[in-house]
Amino acid sequence: MLQTDVLIIGAGAAGLMCAATAAARGRRVLVLDHANKAGKKILMSGGGRCNFTNLYCEPNNFLSGNPHFCKSALARFTQWDFIGLVAKHGVPYHEKKLGQLFCDNKSSDILELLLAECAEAGAQIRLDTAVHSIEKTAGGFLLQSDLGEVACQSLVIATGGLSIPTLGATGFGYQVARQFGHELLPTRAGLVPFTITDPQLKTLCTELSGTSVEDCRVSCNGQSFVENILFTHRGLSGPAILQISSYWQPGDTVHIDLLPHIDLPEWLATQQRERGNSELKTLLAELFTKKMATLLVDSWFSNKPLKQYTPGELKTIAERLSDWQLVPAGTEGYRTAEVTLGGVNTDEVSSKTLESLKVPGLYFIGEVLDVTGHLGGFNFQWAWASGYAAAQYV
């Protein structure tokens, strides 16, 4: 039978950070993962360049049933700590925008960094290894796995959420939580594109598929983000849409201000005064692409020279462009979602140690917990911070 101090299930972002840190404390650490490669999501992340943290990471960048839960871990391993690690390994990086730090080269730089830290500290990683059962014992836990029986004192669940099953995501962590009497908060896909089925809207999205509109304000349920939106064959995507998707529930209306930096009533009045013979399509083509201006005008308004619009009509145009209201049919779901909202209820886990308040020796870290970050490097920062925090106590 294999024996170890700490057994971590999941060789993803949180699991590898926890493994390296706990092993550096002198703990014997074994990481098991059913996938054939560690850190598959790290490799896929940030379009291949891994947005590994955010300069402006704050607790209010996270959604959770208990918004205070993430504070302790985030304060003890900050973005600056991870940046220090990146610098130690000589990984070149840059800020893309809004504090988002990306690798200059490849996401694999971050995975290699974590694997090097694990190797240096002596943490063992076994891939292609499934866990079949877990049992609580007097001294810890006994697991049946593809490696046979494994006994450990501390068991860390780092199996992530349900997003992108083809990258190895499973509901295993939730299953373990349930087995040990933990409550799960309902899970749903987050940071995910919207699908549209309304025929008129769908045509607009399909026709404009691939078109991006910069710096739109997208709002829902009291939350707003100013970022790009992208029309797709299925509906809407782009950073602002992904962000708001985490706040959206089926049936909710999404509000999109396509031109938040322009005072539209004022702009339209000026155009009417100074360029009254120009058609609406022609003028809007200066704010959007020509194709988008044409499609918007054809779908929403009548096209004529600006001098022919009544004040009421101009008001309607301004309102429609600054508050386009739509109800998405749904989201693309876990197939394309970056994260899973909900998960292990943080009320039953210590925010300091990440240990279960029900079962001593059992820890939950990373995305399996009901802590979900905004887009922009926050989810990895949560993985690093929660992995590091648990590693001090396992």
Binding residues (CB under 6 A) for ligand FDA: these are 9-15, 32-35, 40-41, 44-46, 50-51, 130-131, 158-160, 163-164, 168, 170, 172, 338-339, 366-367, 377-380, 383
State the virtual CA torsion across 393, 76, 38, 124 in degrees, nearest 10: -30
Nearest distance from C-beta of residue 319 to ligand FDA, angstroms:
36
Closest separation between CB of residue 68 and ligand FDA, Å?
Answer: 20
In the bound state, the residue with its beta carbon closest to ligand FDA is 12
Give min distance, CB of 299 to ligand FDA, in A: 32
| Amino acid at residue number 304 | K
Task: Provide the minimum distance between the beta carbon of 40 and ligand FDA in the complex, in angstroms, as a whole number.
Answer: 6
* Closest approach of ligand FDA to the CB of residue 347, in Å: 19
Q: Which two tokens stand for residue 348?
A: 């039953």
Between 278 and 336, CB nearer to ligand FDA: 336
The least distance separating ligand FDA from the CB of residue 283, rounded to whole angstroms, comes to: 38
Q: 164 or 218: whose CB is closer to ligand FDA?
A: 164
Query: What is the closest distance, in whole angstroms, from the C-beta atom of residue 114 to ligand FDA in the complex?
Result: 10
CB of 165 to ligand FDA, least distance (A): 10
- Give whichever of 47 and 186 is closer to ligand FDA, judged by the CB atom: 47
Q: Which is nearer to ligand FDA, 30 or 383 (CB)?
A: 383
Closer to ligand FDA at the Cβ: 177 or 256?
A: 177
Tell me whether residue 194 or residue 309 sits nearer to ligand FDA (CB atom): 194
Nearer to ligand FDA, 170 or 392 (CB): 170
- SS3 assignment for the chain: CEEEEEEEECCCHHHHHHHHHHHHCCCCEEEECCCCCCCHHHHHHHHHCCEEEECCCCHHHEECCCCCHHHHHHHHCCHHHHHHHHHHCCCCEEECCCCEEEECCCCHHHHHHHHHHHHHHCCEEECCCCEEEEEECCCCEEEEECCEEEEEEEEEECCCCCCCHHHCCCCHHHHHHHHCCCCEEEEEEECCCEECCCHHHHHHHHHCCCCEEEEEEEEECCEEEEEEEEECCCEEECHHHHHHHCCCCCCCCEEEECCCCCCHHHHHHHHHHHCCCCEHHHHHCCCCCHHHHHHHHHHHCCCCEHHHCCHHHHHHHHHHHHCEEECCCEECHHHCCCEEEEEECHHHECCCCCEECCCCCEEECHHHECCEECCCCHHHHHHHHHHHHHHCCC
Nearest CB to ligand FDA, comparing residues 272 and 340: 340
